[in-house]
Amino acid sequence: MTDLRRVTDLWRRCDVVIRDLPFGLLLAVASLLPALHGKGTQVGDLPARPFDAVALVVIALECLPLAVRRRWPAVCVALVSLGFVLDEFRAYHVFASNAMPIALISAGAHLERHRRVTVVLLSMAYVPLALALGRLGATEKVEGYVVFYLALALAWGIGAWLRSTRAAEAERRRHVAEATRAAERTRIARELHDVVTHHVTAMVVQAEAARYLTATPDRLEAALSAVTDTGRRAIADLRYMLDLLNPGHDTDGRTPSAGDLHALVERTRRAGQPVEFAEEGSPAESVGSAEFVTYRVVQETLTNALKHAHGSRTVVHVRYGRKEISVEVSTDGSGSGAASPGGSGRGLAGLRERVGALGGEFSADRQAGGGFLVRARIPAGSPS
């Protein structure tokens, strides 16, 4: 089985001319068999004549050019047409004359330039062929010539249909590839936003707070230690992301999940944000899409709380159900976001896309008292 696969792979790597040559050779050998004499494609109904040296030339002209029917389709159809004309004039009616419709199909499928000119020239050449056959004593009626021409036109049309089908498939694959690349870029941008924004926002807030703690060395050291820890966490997360983007790297890192919410809340508290955290039920032991999205929802909303409502009371409530995970994060709006960097709204849009991709619901609204309220309903299986 392995040897057969190796031979197949080797054959596919061969040049297209080498791969097309055996068919032409097989057709030539078949044309020499006595049982197939007179079994070729013919027009005019001239009486058949026995083979001679010229018949061998005719067979070569009709069969050997099939080796280049995909590489040089114009050369192929020209040489096969010449051999076909000689065959009809000499009335050999060799089996190799069946190469004519094959050459037309190949030309219709693979000819890139001067397609209309080729069709016109072949059509114009058919008229003198029919007249010459008539002078040689052919008994074919006009209707027969018309039907034969339509058959040749059908062969070209089949090739043209194959060409259009192949082009449509290539265009479809191109669109799929572009859509895949765009989705991947969006996913990467979303992950970078979630990771970088959360950690950098926490570092900015912590560094800004440390500016006012110079008179209390103990608190200043704790604040700077929190900045250092956050920076290290950001570097670790970025390395993990880069490892995921590298297909040749095996990473032992773990995707964030709902089970990591306690550590996330604790880091946010160390950044100076008073967070009340409550859970109902328990997350699944295995990390799934719902748990990952739950983590990102809480992470992004806490980042926004640090940026836009720093110091305000923030409540995080997560409930794990049999079929869904409910997340609710709110602030009372009593804090200040003056010391934090501004936002672009990309984070909430990303969350809406994440939740929507799983068939859930997401909302983010301002409250009457000046705070904000984020709700997410994320479909999930039963916790294990």
Domains and CATH numbers, the chain: 11-140 (no CATH), 176-379 (3.30.565.10)
Mean pLDDT confidence for 108-130 = 91
What is the pTM for the complete model shown? Answer: 0.58
> Which position has the higher pLDDT, 309 or 339?
309
Contact 312, 371 (CB under 8 A): yes
Phi and psi angles of residue 361, each rounded to the nearest 5 degrees, phi first: -125, 145
> Cα 238 vs. chain centroid, distance in angstroms?
26
Residue 74 has pLDDT above 90, yes or no: yes
**Banded pLDDT at 59 (limits 50, 70, 90):** very high
- Highest averaged pLDDT of the listed ranges 8-17, 36-45, 120-129, 231-240: 120-129
**Banded pLDDT at 383 (limits 50, 70, 90):** very low
Helix/strand/coil for 222 = helix
DSSP secondary structure code for residue 15 in this structure: -
Output the average pLDDT for the chain: 81
Residue 63 has pLDDT above 70, yes or no: yes
> Which position has the higher pLDDT, 62 or 217?
62
Mean pLDDT confidence for 243-256 = 58
> How far apart are the C-alpha atoms of 167 and 160, rounded to whole Å?
10
- Highest averaged pLDDT of the listed ranges 133-142, 321-330, 331-340: 321-330
Contact 67, 17 (CB under 8 A): yes
pLDDT of residue 25: 92
**Banded pLDDT at 212 (limits 50, 70, 90):** low
pLDDT of residue 328: 92
> Cα 239 vs. chain centroid, distance in angstroms?
26
pLDDT of residue 273: 82
pLDDT of residue 82: 93
Mean pLDDT confidence for 41-46 = 82
> Which position has the higher pLDDT, 133 or 210?
133
Residue 79 has pLDDT above 90, yes or no: yes
> How far apart are the C-alpha atoms of 102 and 79, rounded to whole Å?
13
pLDDT of residue 334: 57
pLDDT of residue 86: 92
Residue 102 has pLDDT above 60, yes or no: yes
Residue 335 has pLDDT above 80, yes or no: no
**Banded pLDDT at 198 (limits 50, 70, 90):** low
Q: What angle do CA 79, 81, 82 make, to 5 degrees?
A: 65
Helix/strand/coil for 244 = helix
Residue 339 has pLDDT above 50, yes or no: no
Percent of the chain with pLDDT over 70: 77
> How far apart are the C-alpha atoms of 175 and 257, rounded to whole Å?
33
- Residue 211 tokens, joined: 């500016």
16-30, 147-161, 299-313: which has the minimum mean pLDDT?
299-313
> How far apart are the C-alpha atoms of 21 and 147, rounded to whole Å?
31
Mean pLDDT confidence for 292-309 = 84
> How far apart are the C-alpha atoms of 321 and 284, rounded to whole Å?
10
Residue keyed to tokens 């009593």: 334
pLDDT of residue 13: 83
**Banded pLDDT at 62 (limits 50, 70, 90):** very high
Q: Which helix (H) or strand (E) holds 278?
A: strand 275-280
**Banded pLDDT at 338 (limits 50, 70, 90):** very low
